[in-house]
A and B are shown apart, each in its own frame.
Chain A
Amino acid sequence: MVTVASFIAGVLLGRVDGASTVLTQAGAPNSQRETYRSLTVRELDVTSSAFPAIRWGSSAEGGPLLRLAYSNSGAAIQAGVHPNGFPFLLVSDGATRSFGLGRVDGPMASPILVFRHDDIVRMVFGLSMTENEQPAFLVHYSADGTKTDFVGHYCDDPNRVCTR
C-alpha cells in the first residue's frame, strides 16, 4: 500500500517536473497558422507555388545561408558566412553574379565591394588586401579589360602577389 501510494506520488512529481520542457508552442496549431514562442530548425523554406522563394539553411560548403530567389530564373540575393568565417552578401541576376558585396580571403580580411557584368569584374572598391595599412582603392575595368586605378591600387592577381 505504501509502495503504491509512493508510486502515485512519484508519477505526479514526474509530470509536474516534466511539464516545463514541453512548453515551446505558444498557441494551438492549425493548418493555417502555427505560432511558436521559439522555433529551432535545420532548414526553413518560405514557398511560393511550391518553389522555395526564401530558404534558410546551410550552403553546399557548410556555412549558414539565406537565399531569396524569384522562381527558377536564377536571380537571387544570398547572404551567409563561408566556412572560413568570411561573411558575404551577393546579388545575382538571372545568369551571373552582377553585383557582390563581401570580403575576400586574406590575413587582413579586407572589406570589398565588387561590381560584375556577364561574370566579368568591372569595378572593385574597398580596402587593400595586400598592404598592411589597408589603404583604400577603387579600380575599374573598360570593356577591353584595361584597368584604371582611380584611387589607390588593387592587386588583382588571384594569388594576391603584386609588385609595385
Chain B
Amino acid sequence: MKSKLLNVLLSAFGMFLGYWVASHSLVAKSKANIPANIHGTVVSAQAVELVDAGGRRQIVMATSSEGSPGIWFFDKNGKARLSMGLYQDNNAVIVLNDENEQAVQIFRTVGSESAPVLVMKAHGRDRIVMGLNSSTGQEPFLVFYDAQGVKHSVFGHY
C-alpha cells in the first residue's frame, strides 16, 4: 500500500517536473524568437499593431470586416479617434471621431467619379457639407445646417 502511494506521488512529481521544464524552456525560446528589431526589405503582416511602452494599443493597421484596408488611431481610453482607409467601393475616407467614437469630421470621396466631400458633424448630425457634386457635373457646393436643421446654401447645390 505504501509503495503504491509512493509510485503515484513519484509519477505526479515527475509529470509536474517534466511539464515545468518543457514549458519554461519553450517560453525562453519563444522570447528569444521575438526580435528587438526587424530589418528586411519588406515586412508583410495581415495586421500590425503599435503599442506604447505599457503595451497599450495605439495604432492598428489591418483590414476592416469588409476586407478593406484601414488604419485606426486610439486615445488613452482605447477609443478610435482617427481612422483612414478605403470603403468597400474603393472610395477613400479619413474620419475624425469624438470621445464616443462618433464621427465629427469626414473627408472622403463619393460615388463612381470619386467626388471629394468634406462633412462636419455635431451630435451625429451633418452641420456642414462641402465638396464637388457628382450629380451636377462636379460643381462645387457649400451648405450648412443651423441648430434647427434648416439648410443654408452658401453656394452650389447639394
Q: What residues make up the interface of A, taking CB atoms closer than 8 Å to B?
A: 2-15, 17-19, 21-22, 24-26, 29-44, 56-58, 62-64, 66, 79-81, 83, 85-89, 101-103, 108-111, 113, 125-127, 133-136, 138, 150-152
Determine the distance from Cα of A87 to Cα of B94 in the docked complex, in whole angstroms.
Answer: 11
Tell whether B42 is near chain A: CB-to-CB under 8 Å: yes
Determine the distance from Cα of A29 to Cα of B33 in the docked complex, in whole angstroms.
Answer: 11
Which A residues lie within 8 Å of B77 (CB)? 85
Given contacts A38-B47, A39-B45, A87-B82, contact A11 B127 (CB under 8 A): no
Q: 12 A-B residue contacts at CB 8 Å?
A: A18-B22, A22-B33, A24-B34, A32-B40, A33-B42, A66-B59, A80-B82, A85-B79, A101-B105, A110-B122, A111-B120, A127-B122
A79 B14 Cβ-Cβ under 8 A: no
CB-CB contacts of B40-68 with A at 8 A, as 1s and 0s?
Answer: 11111111111111000011010000000
Additional 8 contacts, C-beta under 8 A, given A39-B45, A66-B59, A126-B120: A14-B26, A22-B29, A25-B33, A39-B49, A41-B51, A66-B73, A127-B120, A152-B144
Look across to chain B and name the residue whose beta carbon is closest to the beta carbon of A58.
Answer: B52
Q: What residues make up the interface of B, taking CB atoms closer than 8 Å to A?
A: 7, 10-23, 26-27, 29-30, 33-34, 38, 40-53, 58-59, 61, 71, 73-77, 79, 81-82, 84, 94, 96-99, 104-105, 107, 118, 120-122, 127-128, 142, 144-147, 154
Look across to chain B and name the residue whose beta carbon is closest to the beta carbon of A86.
Answer: B81
Given contacts A2-B14, A34-B40, A135-B147, contact A85 B122 (CB under 8 A): no
- Contact among B7, B30, B44, B82 for A36, CB-based, below 8 A: B44
A10 B81 Cβ-Cβ under 8 A: no
B82 A83 Cβ-Cβ under 8 A: no
Q: Which 9 A-B pairs have the closest CB atoms?
A: A10-B18, A14-B22, A6-B14, A18-B26, A87-B82, A136-B144, A64-B58, A111-B105, A133-B147
Given contacts A34-B40, A85-B99, A134-B122, contact A42 B76 (CB under 8 A): no
Given contacts A44-B50, A79-B84, A135-B146, contact A21 B30 (CB under 8 A): yes
Which A residues lie within 8 Å of B46 (CB)? 26, 36-38
Which A residues lie within 8 Å of B99 (CB)? 85, 109
Look across to chain A and name the residue whose beta carbon is closest to the beta carbon of B77.
Answer: A85
- Contact among B48, B79, B122 for A39, CB-based, below 8 A: B48
Which B residues lie within 8 Å of A6 (CB)? 10-15, 18
Given contacts A14-B26, A102-B96, contact A81 B74 (CB under 8 A): yes
Q: How far is the CB of A51 from chain B (nearest CB, A)?
A: 15
Which A residues lie within 8 Å of B29 (CB)? 22
